[in-house]
Amino acid sequence: MPTIPAKPVSRRELLPIEGMHCASCVLRVEKAIGKLPGVVSANVNLATKEAMVEILPDGPAYDDLCRAVATAGDFRVPERGAGNRLSLPDESDEARSYLLRFVIGAVLTLVLLVIHLKDFVPVAAITDLPDATARWAELVLAAGVLFFCGRSFFVVAAKQAVRFQADMNTLIAVGAGTAFVFGAVVLVFPGAFGDDTMLHFHSAAMIVTLILLGRYFEARAKGKTSQAVRKLLAIVPQKATVLRGTEEVEIPVDDLVTGDLAIVRPGQKFPADGIIADGSSAVDESMITGESLPVERGPGDEVIGGTLSKNGRILFTVTRVGAETALARIVLLVREAQGVKAPVQRLADRVASVFVPIVILISFATLGGWMLAGGKIENAIMAAVSVLIIACPCALGLATPTAVMVGTGRAARLGILFRGAPALENAGRATTVVLDKTGTLTKGEPALTGIAVLEGHSEESLLKLAATAERFSEHPVAKAVLSAAAERGIETGRPDEFRAVEGHGVRAVIDGALVLAGNRKLLEDEGVDVRPLDELAAPFSAAGKTLVLLSVSGIPAGVLGVSDTLKESAAEAVASIRALGVEPVMLTGDSTAAAEHMAKALGIERFLAEVLPENKLEEVRKLMDAGERVVMVGDGINDAPALAAADVGMAIGTGTDVAIEAADVTLMSGDPAGVVTAMRLSRRTLHTIRQNLFWAFFYNVLAIPLAAGGLLTPAIAAGAMAFSSVSVVTNSLRLRSVRL
């Protein structure tokens, strides 16, 4: 089974964090956690509301991290959950809360608007309402919207103010609160700002109501960004059937323990990882590896929790349960990838770190500018409020993480695991893909690929003779010969005598005749004249095949050619890599002649032959030193140093441990076509991130001057701000269905 570089010594903690609303919240939490001794890195994801913290072995404990989060603002880490099963934060509760508050706020705001526009409402009870009563009714209704429905904005803003901090809640609270207080002052002190000054209670109420609506849609959309991971978590059944003595007992899957004997019937899913003790079945592993065809599994084979047994009753021994299963570890890997920031997000982080203070200054400047220009105080305040509301940096904070979440989630469903957002971003920027040959482009096991016979023999008779002679050999070449005979339906006998000649071949007696099957030296040592076989063997040697020369009773009979065979999708994958504008390069330890033959079959123009395992790292570094951005693809055994050194290392392998302990990217199905899919998905994700960041920046750059100029009312500003966040998340969700 392939292996990969060892994990770093540091450990990782995944912290769910409540109370974050914008990019500035993210930065404060990261800064607070990052100050703790022993913390290597802290990446906070606004979309998942989680922090991925990398900690040295002697670093802070979970409780220390929780306290650090609390010092950053009005944030809280829920108590660590108990139980065997991994879970994701439930976005539906948050969405329901916003929906309830929005509905109440919308009803109160609608009544407020009807009263505000009573002169245009054809209802006598409203039209005849005294002006003074109507104004006080507006104040009461607006107070209900702000301080009941929008209470959280003001509570969080107040707590931030005590710490001399500000975030999105500050902008909303100050904006809506200013409009409300201005109206209250006008109401209590008529004529303070002129006789024709309007009340703006409706603006304050609409700000809160529209932002609540935006938050509701945002929460719903964010729930969809983690849908792929939720589907992975939902794969494992809720119940398991186990043997207790001689009885079959159905128990909750969370009650399974290592060593249990569990039973899976046709059409059922494996409830945990294990090793088959009895029975066999075709197992559908597509939900884990992305490979569509079922694979045969029998006694001694490993099975993965969540995969589907198609036929046959299986009895298996449970080896891993709950959060230790391959599926749970894959989910954790995906969530870790979603928690690590992509390099492209750095610009957004730098802007967000100073965004809120700058917006507040612009708002004050807007107020002062209107006053100096002789504008009405009413218009000045409304313009300043509009600046505060329109500039909330929600979209900026969601631009990158939502795209990364959807991209890594979709990749996981396709059997592609990214260890982090940097790998997701960099894979699409590659200029060269270095492909190890054995196990990556080829199946990694020898197969009979050619037969040449001398007069007196047929291909079938020669293969039967060779398979009989090799029957008791354990050599991989012997297994290739036996497999070829079985595939052709050739029945093999048993040699009367058998002896393996180490490093050379086999010596067998069949029906009284001495049969030799092996290399040139074996036959020559037995006095066989091998020159008649040279012409037969020449094409096989040129193609880099391993030769099996055969003789019967000292007379040459023929030659078998054995070689590693290409994976079915290898040539198409290479063509697709080139179609992306990326150069494929093949690395192999084979001779130059053999490598050239393989390269031609694949359509690869550039190859490096006779490369020793320890020299692969050197070859990758040469390409990088020449300015190439390199993706290295290998099976992880001798490729580990090169995988680690490349800009992006992709590990090919279907073993579950390989999948978890992968380089930067793991292709779980072992199909080289996954390299192309990973690169295409990387490019689409990066394109989506750039779109999101462009519109988030462009929106603020365009909208702030419009708001400062009085061209946007506070209500319109609130609606536009809410729409910007929803549009960013919705744009990211398109990655779920984009063609790759």
Res 73: pLDDT: 78
Residue 461 has pLDDT above 60, yes or no: yes
Res 637: pLDDT: 55
The verdict on 524 and 486 lying in the same domain is: yes
The verdict on 483 and 432 lying in the same domain is: no
Residue-wise pLDDT for 219-264, tens only, equals 777 676 666 667 767 778 888 999 888 888 999 888 888 999 999 9
CATH number for the domain spanning 30: value is: 3.30.70.100
Res 197: pLDDT: 59
Task: Give domain status of residue 644, yes or no.
Answer: yes
Res 610: pLDDT: 80
Q: How many Cα atoms sit within 13 Å of 11 on the Cβ side?
A: 8
Annotated catalytic residues are 436
Res 2: pLDDT: 38
Domain boundary among 271, 289, 322: 322
Nearest to 388 by CA among 678, 173, 538: 173
**Mean pLDDT of all residues in 367-389:** 87
Residue 7 has pLDDT above 50, yes or no: no
Residue 8 has pLDDT above 70, yes or no: no
Nearest to 560 by CA among 444, 455, 447: 447
The verdict on 447 and 560 lying in the same domain is: yes
Residue-wise pLDDT for 547-576, tens only, equals 999 999 999 999 999 887 888 889 999 999
The verdict on 452 and 470 lying in the same domain is: yes
Domain boundary among 295, 322, 349: 322
Res 465: pLDDT: 93
Task: Give domain status of residue 423, yes or no.
Answer: yes
Task: Give domain status of residue 428, yes or no.
Answer: yes
Average pLDDT of the chain? 83
Provide the residue range defining the domain that includes 66: 11-71
CATH number for the domain spanning 264: value is: 2.70.150.10
The verdict on 416 and 561 lying in the same domain is: no
The verdict on 575 and 665 lying in the same domain is: yes
CATH number for the domain spanning 646: value is: 3.40.50.1000
The verdict on 509 and 559 lying in the same domain is: yes
Residue 678 has pLDDT above 60, yes or no: yes
Res 636: pLDDT: 60
**Lowest-confidence pick of 358-367, 393-402, 409-418:** 393-402
Res 14: pLDDT: 80
CATH number for the domain spanning 457: value is: 3.40.1110.10
Res 661: pLDDT: 56
**Mean pLDDT of all residues in 390-417:** 81
C-alpha torsion angle, residues 220, 221, 227, 233 (rounded to 10): -40
Domain boundary among 565, 598, 629: 565
Task: Give domain status of residue 484, yes or no.
Answer: yes
Task: Give domain status of residue 27, yes or no.
Answer: yes
**Lowest-confidence pick of 150-154, 157-161, 311-315, 705-709:** 157-161
Residue 381 has pLDDT above 90, yes or no: no
Res 4: pLDDT: 38
Determine the Cα–Cα distance for residues 141 and 147; give it in Å rounded to an integer: 10
Task: Give domain status of residue 221, yes or no.
Answer: no
**Lowest-confidence pick of 385-399, 444-458, 524-538:** 385-399
Determine the Cα–Cα distance for residues 547 and 537; give it in Å rounded to an integer: 7
- Provide the percentage of residues in the chain whose pLDDT is more than 70: 87
Residue 517 has pLDDT above 50, yes or no: yes
Which has more pLDDT, 489 or 123?
489
| Number of domains observed in the structure of the chain | 4
The verdict on 502 and 478 lying in the same domain is: yes
Q: For residue 162, what are its two tokens?
A: 């005590």
Task: Give domain status of residue 87, yes or no.
Answer: no
Q: For residue 83, what are its two tokens?
A: 């139980």
**Lowest-confidence pick of 74-88, 353-367, 447-461:** 74-88
Task: Give domain status of residue 21, yes or no.
Answer: yes
The verdict on 540 and 620 lying in the same domain is: no
SS3 for 607?
Answer: strand
CA distances to 81, 200, 208, 363, 392 from 366, in Å? 48, 18, 22, 5, 16
Q: What share of the chain is helix, strand, coil (3-state, %, to 5)?
A: 50, 20, 30
